[in-house]
Copies of this chain bind each other. A is one copy, B any other.
Amino acid sequence: MNGDLKKFFNPRSVAVIGASRSKGSPGYTILENLLFNKRKGVFKGEIYPVNPKAQEIQGVKCYSSVLDIPSKIDLAVISTPAKIIPKLIGECGTKKIKHVIVVSGGFNEVGNQELTDKLKESIERNKVRLIGPNCLGVINLHKGLDTSFIPVFKKTLKGEKVTSAPRPKKGYMTLLSQSGAFGTAALDYLYSEKIGINVFVSYGNKLDVDEPTLLNYFLEDEDTHVILMYVESLERGRDFVETAKKVTLTKPVVVLKAGKSPGGSKAASSHTGALAGMPEIYAAVFKQTGVISATGMEDLFDKGKALLYQPPAEKDSVAILTNAGGPGVLAADAVELQNLKLTVFAEETMNKLYSLVGEGVIVPYASLHNPVDLSGSATIESYIEAMKVLLEAEEVGAIILFPLHHPPSIEQPETLALELSELINKYRKTVVACKIGGSRMSAIVEELLEKREIPVYPSPERGVKSLKGLVFYGEWLRKHNLLSTYLKKFWKLKEERQKVDG
């Protein structure tokens, strides 16, 4: 079954049916994006434009039909008027192309059920696997495959060429999106947030390949460590539940379900032509299947990053370490809002903290009860020693860290960030960090921590929500006695990622 889909994501040859000479049209941009990666040497396969009216497009020989292409074709990307597509699928069948992406819209999403049925009949008859129609297809950041018709660059009023939808860097999260527009926006967001992606799939009307199919495939995919999904509707409910239950025992799956409210749900229906379904049902289904729910786009990627970088929490009890009273209070608020617990420190933990005050490591006016607020007089030593106490405290399941670059007493905050991250990665407890602000020093500290896979969030609220994902997933794995199995694999993957990237 999985070998069956592989050529969608790693084809050796791609035919672009409907490749166009008209700049800005989908058929032009798809070819442009593919050739751009090919010429950079990122995409290693062959590219064949198909258009009966052209001899050559963008410097590449063009064929009238896939049937004229002399070589074997792994994948066809179709961007033509909708009504001729069932016939084109027939040609793909004859040419023994088993994988087709139909980018074009004009099917059930606009109420054209007759054409949709024809397309369905054609793919079944020709034994073709289909992604789409009405989608962007696939972007594989590791292999350089990019079938989307979204231009990377646009022009300013002065005529300058600037990035408009840059692709993210390669990474280890796979994003599955029903909506192409959400996907496009997400790619741009991921790029600017420096979050890496393995494969992006925009699957549109999902006439064949749908959520259960994709989940099954990416369960086995080695470069996918976390799966993210944007979903408006799930037609194959039972299959989704079964598949998701299986996948979440091995890999975290975070889902943003759009169309939660009556209005949003109606909007989703008219957008995809599918029944969006009751929000309560979805929430219950996700919980029962170990799927981590996201509340919005930022939260989807925030939680994804947390699950990629950090181990699931072993307890729902959270300690906060800060040098900033106000943000510490906001984090404490967020902890309780997310139904997590603020750790009540054990006597041993309190005694260790008091000793640090006694030794002059922590200032006497620091606040030691959770949140541990080292105050604006925090020193690197006070941070390290207090962190050690929290990492060692058995009653603490996870830690929220404010490695603010702001305490006036710390002149070189990188030293603090470096020493803290070494400590954290040694103790292997769940830790997320928050920073506030976008100064140069803030960016430097953030980059340093994220390179070591300690996720950094721009507000206490977002940090705590992400932590909630790690707590939920920890509970799910514990319930199935799989936490230690998962953790073993998690640390192995993390080590490998650090080797490759670091």
| C-alpha spacing A45/B64, complex, angstroms | 79
- Tell me the A348-407 residues at the B interface (CB within 8 Å): 364-365, 367, 369-371, 373, 375-376, 404-406
Stretch at the interface among A55-63, A87-95, A146-154, A493-501: A146-154
Using A154-B405, A365-B110, A414-B157 as known contacts, say yes or no to A180 and B376 having CB atoms under 8 A apart: yes
| Most B-side CB within 10 Å, residue of A296, A436, A437 | A437
Let me know if A311 is at the binding interface, CB within 8 A. no
Question: Quick check: B415 and A24 within 8 Å, CB to CB?
Answer: no
Stretch at the interface among A6-14, A120-128, A207-215, A266-274: A266-274
Question: Quick check: B440 and A295 within 8 Å, CB to CB?
Answer: no
Question: Quick check: B333 and A441 within 8 Å, CB to CB?
Answer: no
- Interface readout for A155-184 with B: 1 if CB under 8 Å, 0 if not? 111000011111000000000011111111
Chain B residues within an 8 Å CB radius of A436: 185-186, 188-189, 297
Let me know if A484 is at the binding interface, CB within 8 A. no
Chain B residues within an 8 Å CB radius of A239: none
Let me know if A18 is at the binding interface, CB within 8 A. no
A406 touches which of B188, B271, B336, B337 (Cβ 8 Å): B188
| Most B-side CB within 10 Å, residue of A109, A110, A162, A408 | A408
Chain B residues within an 8 Å CB radius of A466: none
Let me know if A325 is at the binding interface, CB within 8 A. yes
Let me know if A470 is at the binding interface, CB within 8 A. no
| C-alpha spacing A369/B269, complex, angstroms | 11
Distance of A117 from chain B, by nearest CB (Å): 18
Stretch at the interface among A218-226, A244-252, A256-264: A256-264
Number of copies: 2
Let me know if A307 is at the binding interface, CB within 8 A. no
A154 touches which of B29, B184, B328, B441 (Cβ 8 Å): B441
Using A162-B439, A188-B438, A438-B192 as known contacts, say yes or no to A329 and B259 having CB atoms under 8 A apart: yes
Question: Quick check: A376 and B181 within 8 Å, CB to CB?
Answer: yes
Question: Quick check: A437 and B189 within 8 Å, CB to CB?
Answer: yes
Question: Quick check: B367 and A437 within 8 Å, CB to CB?
Answer: no
Chain B residues within an 8 Å CB radius of A485: none
Closest to A166 in B: B439
| C-alpha spacing A178/B197, complex, angstroms | 41
